Amino acid sequence: MDAMKSYDVLIVGGGMVGASLVQALAGQGLRIAVIESVPVETRTEPGYDDRALALAHGTRKIFHALGLWEELSAAATPIHRIHISDRGHCGFTRMERTEEGLEALGYVVPARAITRVLGGVLRQPGAVDLYCPAVLSELEIDESGAMARLSTDATEQEITARLVVAADGAGSSIRDRLGIPVQVHDYGQVAIVTNITPQLPHHNIAYERFTETGPLALLPMSEQRCAVVWTVDEKDSDTVTALSDAEFLDRLQDRFGYRLGRLERVGRRQAWPLRLVRAQESVRQRLALVGNAAHTLHPIAGQGFNLGVRDVAVLAEVIVDAVRADRDPGDLAVLSRYGSWRQGDHRRVTAFTDGMARMFTLPLPAFGVVRSAGMVALDLLPPAKRLLTRLTMGRGGRVPRLARGLPL
Ligand SMILES: Cc1cc2nc3c(=O)[nH]c(=O)nc-3n(C[C@H](O)[C@H](O)[C@H](O)COP(=O)(O)OP(=O)(O)OC[C@H]3O[C@@H](n4cnc5c(N)ncnc54)[C@H](O)[C@@H]3O)c2cc1C
């Protein structure tokens, strides 16, 4: 067994959110460790099948302040307009970048590009001790500190930290281990994720279309591809993923219509089960939850990672302020500032996403009318639309320094 090492911050989970936090805290004089179970360098899959994420304008600002946007922007496709419609009903609404005075409402970035840039962050020499591949196998927390045991293929090691950050994703073992209660709703749906190439150029428009079999998003990507996120009933998942390319394109065309002409090429299909998981506590003495470990959302509005990046901006600010004031960053009084600051944003975005997911997947004809009315009202009522725009662009609530483009 190696000698015990001590850290200020131990981040469990070096996924997109955990790695973003490393970047935010690097250079602040903190001793940081990350435990990640999946080898960092194996998580890159180039090619037509890139999974993509829609990043909000606010996320771009935070990545810019973190010095990562320049590299990411090379792979980013800006969204100029969002078009929301309901199959078989007349109502639709539009959001325009010009209404917001922005160059883009958001950006579609391949997950591979984000992972590559953040993988580089985890491997920065001197900035962080990366334990990878390694799994957190035990965690004990008391007033004075946290002790974590981690296992690699061949060894077991113990480390201590003043603060543990759970960035270990939707199935967070830290949450389970510490008995943190969760609100769970199984949508009984899966997201079928793939890429397509339509006959006509996408002109940087993101489409969100509600169909009787679930919401369907087409996001503009590079090389005139569109990233497809199509929600279907769990029971139809195997059938849809097993369709031949031609059958899949036919079915998608039927749901989406001909706004982009014929849908001509499709990549590999992947199915993601959909659940809402929300931790009922986001802080405890020496513990903070971020990203999917705190909130796993339906992907209907592309909010999950964006919300996680805002967790990072706030938590980093709270930690750095505490250290500068000579306070213990793991103290509950310090972490409560993070917990209460994030509460409103978590509540608003979860309620918005969950409400949309439930309303737009109910098959009852009456709901079609409500939905159409909702969309027409949204188009006619600037305040309602502005609220939607603010939420989807990540602009709700009190804004941390990084999101204002300021250094920590
Ligand atoms: C179909 C779909 C589409 C989406 N589209 C969007 C979008 O357009 N925009 C958006 O903002 N969000 C989107 N999301 C959500 C987004 O993907 C997630 O919010 C984001 O990936 C969460 O990142 P995370 O780092 O919190 O969790 P994860 O990515 O799950 O990372 C957790 C990490 O912790 C590691 N880990 C777990 N347990 C341990 C352990 N015990 N020891 C060591 N390591 C451990 C894992 O290996 C992993 O690397 C989408 C989600 C889905 C399913």
pLDDT tens, N- to C-terminus, the chain (408 residues): 456 899 999 999 999 999 999 999 999 999 999 999 999 865 554 567 778 999 998 999 999 999 999 999 999 999 999 898 876 665 577 788 888 788 999 999 999 999 999 999 999 888 899 999 999 999 999 999 999 999 988 889 999 999 999 999 999 999 999 999 999 999 999 999 999 999 999 999 999 888 777 789 999 999 999 999 999 999 999 999 999 999 999 999 999 999 999 999 999 999 999 999 999 999 999 999 999 999 999 988 889 999 999 999 999 999 999 999 999 999 999 999 999 999 999 999 999 889 888 876 655 455 555 555 554 444 544 555 566 666 655 566 689 999 999 999
Distance in angstroms (rounded) separating the CA atoms of residues 338 and 399: 12
Q: Model confidence over 144-192: pLDDT tens digits?
A: 999 999 998 888 999 999 999 999 999 999 999 999 999 999 999 999 9
Distance in angstroms (rounded) separating the CA atoms of residues 75 and 71: 8
**Residue 211 CA, distance from chain mean position:** 24
| 291 C-beta closer than 6 A to ligand 1 | yes
Task: Please check whether residue 146 is in contact with residue 163, taking contact to mean a CB–CB distance below 8 angstroms.
Answer: yes
Q: How far is the CA of 357 from the centre of ligand 1 (A)?
A: 19
Atom of ligand 1 nearest to the CA of 219: 8
Distance in angstroms (rounded) separating the CA atoms of residues 209 and 169: 28
| 215 C-beta closer than 6 A to ligand 1 | no
**Apex 226 CA angle, 220 and 232, nearest 5:** 120
In 3D, which of 136, 66, 61 has the Cα closest to residue 102? 61
| 36 C-beta closer than 6 A to ligand 1 | yes
Select from 53, 79, 187 the residue to mutate for testing ligand 1; criterion: most ligand atoms less than 8 Å from CB.
Answer: 53
Domains of the chain from N-terminus onward: 5-184+275-404 (3.50.50.60)
In 3D, which of 315, 255, 270 has the Cα closest to residue 291? 315
Q: Model confidence over 98-120: pLDDT tens digits?
A: 887 889 999 999 999 999 999 99
